Amino acid sequence: MLCLSSKKKGGPFHEPFKEARLQNRDKDKLVTKDFVALKRDLDFTQGSDELFEYVDLWENPFVYIHYRDYEKKLEYVDRDGGRVTVKAAKSQKLGAFQSPTSFQIWSFGPNGLNENGEGDDIASWK
């Protein structure tokens, strides 16, 4: 979320966040020196050192993957506190990553299950 909140390079890249949809279920925080450095380097306005996730209408975190991380498996905490592994989505037709030079964002959708942007997931490339 902090990357999308950066004022660098034309950001922030979202409308203002609704505070009720900011969650930190895994209770992670930045250490002070990292928080100060990121605040300076990303030029964001958040005053809290907590690493919030923005949740969808069904209270699951939005998945955000920058293209530099497409080869990695990432872990999210879902609305029920379960750990969910996600990976960047690929086109079934072309075999290439969706949005290959930018980022992917998706919601687990109404069923609350991660389908890596498929099924009822709501994805930025659909």
Q: Quick one: 63 and 38 in the same domain? A: no
CA dist., res. 85 & res. 64, Å (int) = 13
Question: Given CA atoms 114, 117, 119, 121 in this order, what sign does their dihedral have?
Answer: positive
13: Cβ contacts below 8 Å, ≥ 6 apart: 4, 6
- 34-41 LR contacts (CB < 8 Å, sep 24+): 38/2
- pLDDT, averaged across the chain: 87
Which of 12, 31, 54 finishes a domain?
54
Q: Does 51 have pLDDT greater than 90?
A: no
43 and 99 within one domain: no
Count structural domains, the chain.
2
Distances (CA, A) of 41 to 6, 29, 51, 66, 85: 9, 17, 16, 17, 29
Confidence band, pLDDT 50/70/90 cuts, at residue 102: very high
pTM: 0.76
Determine the Cα angle at 34 with ends 14 and 67, to 5°.
45
Considering the domain architecture, whether residues 85 and 34 belong to the same structural domain is answered as: no
Radius of gyration of the chain (CA): 15
Task: Identify whether residues 63 and 50 lie together within a single domain.
Answer: no
Q: Looking at the structure, tell me whether residues 63 and 123 fall in a common domain.
A: yes
> What is the mean predicted confidence (pLDDT) over 60-67?
93
Overall average pLDDT of the 74-102 stretch: 92
Statement to judge: residues 65 and 123 lie in one domain: yes
| pLDDT for 16 | 75
